[in-house]
Chains A and B, each alone.
Chain A
Amino acid sequence: MTDSLFFTLWQPLWLTLQLALLSVVILLLIALPLCYWLSQYHGRAKPIIEATIALPLVLPPTVMGFYLLIAFAPDTLLGQSWIAISGQPLAFSFAGIVLGSVIYSFPFVVQPILLSFQQHIRPINQTAATLGITWWRRIVFILLPAVKPALISAITLGFAHTLGEFGLILMIGGNIPGHTQVLSIALYQSVETMQYAQAHWLAGILLGFSFLILVIMYTYNRTFYRMQQC
Chain B
Amino acid sequence: MLGTLHLHIDAELPQGHYNVQHTLKLDDGVIGVHGGSGQGKTTLLKIIAGLIEVNPNALTWSNSAYQRLSPEQNGIVYQAQTPYLFAHLTVIQNLQVVLKHASHRSLFDLDEVINWCAIEGLLQQPVVTLSGGEQQRVAFARSLLCGKRVILLDEPFSAIDVTMRQRLLSLVLHLQKSTPIRFIMVSHAFSELAFICHEIIAISAGQITRIGPPHKHCAQSSTLTLLKPQYIPEYQLIKWQLNAEIDIYSHAMNKTNAPHTVQDLPDQYLWLLSSNAITLSYEQQKKSSILNQIPVTVTAIVHSSANVIVHLNVAEHSILVQITRLAYENLVSEAELEAKAKSEQSIDSGLGLGRELTVGTKLWAQLPLCSLSAGL
Q: What residues make up the interface of A, taking CB atoms closer than 8 Å to B?
A: 123-124, 126-135, 137, 141-142, 145-146, 148, 227-230
Most buried by B among A123, A133, A134: A133
Q: Check A146 against B148 for contact (C-beta < 8 Å).
A: no
Contacts of A229 in B (CB 8 A): 128-129
Q: Chain B nearest CB: distance from A83 CB in Å? A: 46
Does B146 contact A131, Cβ atoms closer than 8 Å? yes
Q: 1/0 per position for B79-114, CB-CB distance to A under 8 A?
A: 010011011110000000110111110000000000
One of B66-74, B214-222, B259-267, B362-370 contacting the partner: B66-74
Q: Min CB distance, A117 to chain B, in Å?
A: 14
How far is B311's CA from A190's CA once the two chains are assembled, in angstroms?
Answer: 102
Q: Does B193 contact A (CB under 8 A)?
A: no
Task: Closest A residue to B152 by CB, please name it.
Answer: A130
Chain B residues with Cβ under 8 A from A124's Cβ? Answer: 84, 86
Q: List 16 A-B contacts (CB under 8 A).
A: A123-B84, A127-B80, A127-B84, A129-B72, A130-B50, A130-B71, A131-B148, A132-B102, A133-B103, A134-B72, A142-B86, A145-B88, A148-B88, A227-B126, A228-B88, A230-B126
A144 nearest CB across to chain B (Å): 10
Number of residue pairs A-B, CB distance < 8 angstroms: 71
Q: Mark B117-153, 1 if CB is under 8 A from A, else 0.
A: 0000000001011000000000000110011100000
Overall SS of chain B's interface: loop
Residue in contact with A133 in the complex, picked from B83, B89, B98, CB distance below 8 Å:
B98
A132 pairs with B97, CB closer than 8 A: no
Say yes or no: A132 contacts B73, CB within 8 Å: yes
Complex-state Cα separation, A113 to B248, whole angstroms: 63
B51 at interface (Cβ–Cβ under 8 A)?
yes
Chain B positions near chain A (C-beta within 8 angstroms) = 49-51, 70-73, 76-78, 80, 83-84, 86-89, 97-98, 100-104, 126, 128-129, 142-143, 146-148
Q: Is the CB of B86 within 8 A of A132?
A: no
Q: Which residue of A lies closest to B93 (CB)?
A: A145
Q: Which of B84, B100, B104, B143 has most A Cβ within 10 Å? A: B84
For residue B363, give the distance in angstroms from its CB to the closest CB of chain A. 54
* A141: B residues at CB distance < 8 A: 97, 100-101
Contact A131 B98 (CB under 8 A): yes
Smallest CB separation, B53 vs chain A (Å): 13
A137 to B50, CA, bound (A): 19
Complex Cα distance, B127 from A230, in Å, reads 10
Q: Report yes or no: B72 in contact with A133, Cβ–Cβ below 8 A.
A: yes
Q: Give bound CA distance, A89 to B103, whole Å.
A: 51
Contact between chains at A133 and B102 (CB < 8 Å): yes
**Cα–Cα, bound, A77→B239 (Å):** 90
Which residues of A sit under 8 angstroms from B80, Cβ to Cβ?
127
For the complex, what is the distance from the CA of A146 to the CA of B126, rounded to whole Å?
Answer: 13
Could you tell me the distance in whole angstroms from the C-beta of B121 to the nearest C-beta in chain A?
Answer: 16
How far, in whole Å, are A227 and B83 apart by their CA atoms in the complex? 21
How far, in whole Å, are A130 and B142 apart by their CA atoms in the complex? 11
Bound complex: CA of A230 vs CA of B49, how far in Å? 35
Give min CB distance, A224 to chain B, whole Å.
Answer: 8
Contacts of B129 in A (CB 8 A): 229-230
Task: Name the contact of B146 in the complex, choosing from A123, A132, A134 (C-beta under 8 A).
Answer: A132
Q: Which residue of B lies closest to A146 (CB)?
A: B88
**What is the CB-to-nearest-CB distance from B95 to chain A, in angstroms, rounded to a whole number?**
11
A132-B87 contact, Cβ under 8 Å, with A142-B97, A228-B128, A230-B126: no
Q: A-B pairs with the 7 shortest C-beta distances?
A: A132-B102, A131-B146, A123-B84, A129-B71, A129-B72, A127-B84, A137-B101
Q: Is the CB of B103 within 8 A of A130?
A: no
Query: What CA separation (Å) do A142 and B104 show in the bound complex?
Result: 17
Contact partner, A132, options B51, B88, B103, Cβ 8 Å: B103
Which B residues touch A128, using CB under 8 A?
72
- Chain B residues with CB under 8 Å of A131's CB are 72, 77, 98, 102, 142-143, 146, 148
Q: Which residue of B lies closest to A123 (CB)?
A: B84
Measured between C-beta atoms, what is the minimum distance from B131 to chain A in Å?
15
Q: Which of A133, A228, A230 contacts B87 (CB 8 A)?
A: A228
CA distance A131 to B98 in the complex (A): 7
